[in-house]
Amino acid sequence: MVVAPHPDDETIATGMLIQQVRAVGGEVRVLLLTAGDNNPWPQRWLERRAWIKAADRQRWGRRRHAEMLQALQCLGVPTQALQSLGWPDMGVTDGLLQSSDTAVAELAAAVAQFRPSLIAMPALGDRHPDHGSAHVLVRLALAEQLDPPHQLAYLVHGHAPDSGVIEIAGTAAQATNKRAALAAHRSQMALSGPRMRRLAERPERYVDVAVTPAGSPSPLPWQPPAWLWPWLRLSVVSSTGTQSWRWRDAPLQRDSQGAYQLSLPAVAAGPRFARLASNLPSLWIFDHWGWCEL
């Protein structure tokens, strides 16, 4: 099972993996979280319009869905293998922080229905907010399973580590099919073709998501400047729910190295994640701080 936040993530990140699974007789399910309809600049460019209304967004989402089906055909995946959840594009984080139980239940149901032996999900460190939050949701959905599938994390927006990864090269024919699948995403290639080709032509690298045993608290990876504190919000998500504070009100302590640590009560077994975000308005859609696993 490939968890794709938007149409084209399945091709860019897992085009080789999908083909290799199919080549040895495996079955593939692609779980599409959003329609990718909150994508205004390519839509303005291709449709020659300045204002994007709700009906325009819905039409754009249908277009991207059709492109994704064409891309999957290039990768040897049948139409019925695509399952769409219809979540809001650029809204996965809000769904996680405001109604995580509902989102986690939907993902858990999709996984239980397909019963994959391997699941590929976005990396926690991916700076697109839909991607990092998708990782958290998938991990929470799998945490309650007695025999969860093997889990691999892929990175689209950012640079994967050079070591400790599983790298998939593929054959020349598979590379050709992946390029054809990428070209099928015409709406995205119109403005971002060179960037998307660079992303898709990188070797596919996956991090094996290992279960981290409970131990001593680890420091948070962030040390924001004091002038930003009034606009920062720290959130913690686990199977027991979501907690959120302004940075200056969060239960933080500094260790001997000056790093911040969260002082939180113990919770039941399962992963727990923290996110730091700014409330300042910005045209930049990517996360500056993002998520970490506690």
In order of start, what are the domains of the chain with their CATH numbers? Answer: 2-208 (3.40.50.10320), 226-293 (no CATH)
pLDDT at 282: 87
Query: What pLDDT was estimated at residue 160?
Result: 76
pLDDT tens, the chain, 294 aa long = 999 999 999 999 999 999 999 999 999 999 999 999 999 999 999 999 999 999 999 999 999 999 999 999 999 999 999 999 999 999 999 999 998 899 999 999 999 999 999 999 999 999 999 999 999 999 999 998 889 999 999 999 988 777 789 999 899 999 999 999 999 999 999 999 999 999 999 999 999 997 555 556 678 999 999 999 999 999 999 998 999 999 999 999 998 888 999 998 877 678 999 999 999 988 889 999 999 999
Is 272:236 a contact under the CB 8 Å cutoff?
yes
Contact predicate 30/217, CB 8 Å: no
C-alpha to C-alpha distance for 170 and 205, rounded to whole angstroms: 12
Task: Tell me the C-alpha distance between 41 and 10, whole Å.
Answer: 21
Q: Quote the pLDDT of residue 256.
A: 87
| CA within 13 Å, CB half, 89 | 18
